Amino acid sequence: MAKRPLGATVPVPCVVHWKSGHFAALTQEKDGNYFARDATFGQNIWVSKEALDEEASGYFLIAGGALPEEWTTVSEEFGEKILGQGKVHNGDPEETRPGDTKVGDSDSALRNGHVLHTRFAREPEYR
């Protein structure tokens, strides 16, 4: 986990922690706007860097490697205190939908940016 200062660049893909107490995946950047996939609110939206400055807590999960300039590493002990909540599925671990792709014998899959206990995954929908 890392802390982003206001106005700093945001590497994508990443996971943002919102001040309202949940996480969302940022999967694309285009012209200074970021595509947020947010299952809690049931929508995928484009957000501006200004909106990230206003609505994000500043804590992000980003890929390993060197941190972007001005970002700081968050200790594991402190990171464990950054919590989020929200709906990730309807509670049925066997739920599948038309178009789901079988991902093998694993008991976990990625759907809408969240790990679920099921054997199917959905491809991201980009428009």
Residue 103: both structure tokens together: 């991902």
Which residues touch 48 (CB under 8 Å, ≥6 apart)? Answer: 32, 33, 34
* Chain segment 104-124, per-residue pLDDT in tens: 544 444 444 444 333 333 344
Range of the domain at 52: 2-79
Domain match, 71 and 25 both: yes
pLDDT (0 to 100) of residue 17: 93
Residue 94: both structure tokens together: 């066997």
Residue 97: both structure tokens together: 């939908």
Domain match, 23 and 63 both: yes
Domain match, 61 and 38 both: yes
Indicate the pLDDT class of residue 94, thresholds 50, 70 and 90.
Answer: low
* Chain segment 21-43, per-residue pLDDT in tens: 889 999 999 999 999 998 777 77
Domain match, 73 and 92 both: no
Domain match, 10 and 65 both: yes
Domain match, 71 and 95 both: no
Q: How many domains does the chain have?
A: 2
Domain match, 22 and 44 both: yes
| 89 pLDDT higher than 80 | no
Q: Is 25 exposed, middle or buried (0-12, 13-18, 19+ CB in 10 A)?
A: buried
